[in-house]
Chains A and B, each alone.
Chain A
């Protein structure tokens, strides 16, 4: 493998120098193959093959399809239309309706996830009797498959026999049973609550992990400066949490944008289009209207939003020095 790139060659030279300095026997050096790229490619070959066949190729193919008029309702039509699908989507009211629902769903979910995540992480980072039990319990919502999560909340929200109705009535908060999922605002709130319940443990675990890495010196320094307990929280803990919170928010945004199973089981995008997010709209366009080209264009718009967010994510990590490839 000829070395052409300047950066590559200097990196390799640097590596050879280190390898040479260590004075390893020649046989072993060849066996370890630190300098033998074809061995590295051989090790990666199965992974490249699998990901290439079932991810990279489909990504490219779906980009190609998104530039075509490809509608199973009108057989034998497969014509190149450039960005017409994208233009049609961006000019349609259904896209903007779904966009607004997605934004509402995501913002509302992120707000709750931030409160629960930060609160839960602070709680689990403070010693108290029974903390170990809580740390195990928090794995329950994380481990439950999204389909079962949706089913569980459907059962709880049931308009005729649901336990939420039973509870609220027993507490005197409602006078008669409500159809939570048949009313637009209620359905969205119910959907967000179900989503948040299954996603908040991730936020808690990540933030608690970051809290555990706060150097004790930071607290010592703040104490010397005369901070009391509230001061320590404001001047050390909160600033430390800002960065991991950004990471959590971006991961959770991606999950919210891609949420599908829970919508499928709980609301199917309804009532009307009250919970039709972009992902659900993609599903409808593709599998209900069988408009594959348009559906792929939808999927690509979601991908672009996701990739845009991940770029911010990598940048944030890169500046912190945590990311090393």
Chain B
């Protein structure tokens, strides 16, 4: 009896150790990034390192709010660009998410409910378009965007991200609509709803969690992109936060604490979304991978 108890205790100790190691692996690198944002430059550069801020400060964050006030700090130019970059990213990513939900719901409905010739091939084209590496598309895409006169604009970014995220959105919403009984639609139509009324008043409200999840995935993909943003943007009219932050990282003259603070600022929106939608992240990733 006591032997079994010991075995269980050993098992638990082993599990907890493994969990602690995993938690440390996840948290250690990220917390170092965060911790140094609360340090003065001098403390952050000390050898050996200060593991915790000896003179904790919010100075780095204030620099981003009032970048012109700290001419003495190296890299204030990039700090100036960070907040507008975040705003640009927010607009481009929100636009991507919104367009995704609209176009994805229409197309997703057709795959969930209708039967038409070429259905399977069309879905394969949608999904297959994601297998091409971004770098293969960049030059022709640049030429198309230039032809449309949309270089260095946020709509160009939103449209570009839309095309990368839409296949996944269609797939996700197709599965979601299939989970809603067809009888619900039929009842609405029998009651005299037109098809658009049925879609907007009955089906889409029922599919809200699916739509929100799809919007979140689209937003995060758009927010995280660097390659297309750096090629399609030129000025702060459309530079996104990843472009600004990559500028920090590759510019050796920038104050390192400003660099880490810029990085942390760029992480906040996707991190908040991931935590808010954590159930859907897991469901969505699993559905996306297991079923295509």
Chain A contacts to B: CB under 8 angstroms? 1, 3, 5, 8, 11-12, 15, 24-25, 28, 31-37, 39-41, 43-44, 46-48, 50-51, 53-59, 61-62, 65, 119-120, 123, 126, 128-131, 133-148, 150-156, 160-161, 163, 166-167, 169-170, 177, 197, 202, 205-206, 209-210, 244, 247-248, 251, 254, 257-258, 260-261, 264-265, 268, 279, 282-283, 286, 292, 295-296, 299-300, 302-303, 306-307, 310, 314, 317, 322-325
> Interface range on chain B: under 10, 10 to 19, 20 to 34, or 35 or more?
35 or more
Min distance, Cβ B114 to any Cβ of chain A, angstroms: 4
The verdict on B33 contacting chain A, using a C-beta distance below 8 Å, is: yes
Bound CA span A282–B224, Å: 21
The binding surface of chain A is classed by DSSP as helix
Q: Which of B266-281 contact A (CB under 8 A)?
A: 266-267, 270-271, 273-275, 278, 281
Bound CA span A24–B190, Å: 10
- Chain B 184-219 against A: per-residue CB contact (8 Å), 1 yes, 0 no? 011001100011000000000000000000000000
Bound CA span A58–B16, Å: 51
Q: Given the known A-B contacts A143-B274, A258-B133, are A202 and B186 also in contact in the complex, defined by CB atoms under 8 Å? A: no
Please tell me if the beta carbons of A62 and B137 are within 8 angstroms of each other in the complex.
Answer: yes
Among B114, B167, B242, point to the contact of A147 (Cβ < 8 A): B242
The verdict on B58 contacting chain A, using a C-beta distance below 8 Å, is: no
Q: Which residues of B contact A150 (CB under 8 A)?
A: 246, 249
Please tell me if the beta carbons of B224 and A28 are within 8 angstroms of each other in the complex.
Answer: no
Q: Which residues of A contact B16 (CB under 8 A)?
A: 128-130
Among B47, B114, B170, B292, point to the contact of A317 (Cβ < 8 A): B292
The verdict on B18 contacting chain A, using a C-beta distance below 8 Å, is: yes
Please tell me if the beta carbons of B189 and A28 are within 8 angstroms of each other in the complex.
Answer: yes
Please tell me if the beta carbons of B266 and A139 are within 8 angstroms of each other in the complex.
Answer: no
Q: Which of B155-179 contact A (CB under 8 A)?
A: 159-160, 162-164, 166-167, 170
Please tell me if the beta carbons of B141 and A54 are within 8 angstroms of each other in the complex.
Answer: yes
Bound CA span A32–B195, Å: 7
Inter-chain residue pair count (beta carbon < 8 A): 308
Bound CA span A48–B281, Å: 26
Q: Given the known A-B contacts A145-B270, A310-B131, are A54 and B116 also in contact in the complex, defined by CB atoms under 8 Å? A: no
Among B122, B190, B270, point to the contact of A25 (Cβ < 8 A): B190
Q: Can you spell out 27 A-B residue pairs with CB atoms less than 8 angstroms apart?
A: A15-B115, A32-B189, A40-B116, A41-B116, A44-B106, A47-B107, A57-B144, A58-B144, A123-B15, A129-B16, A131-B19, A140-B30, A141-B26, A143-B220, A145-B266, A147-B242, A147-B266, A151-B245, A155-B36, A209-B282, A210-B286, A210-B290, A261-B246, A265-B250, A279-B135, A286-B139, A296-B139
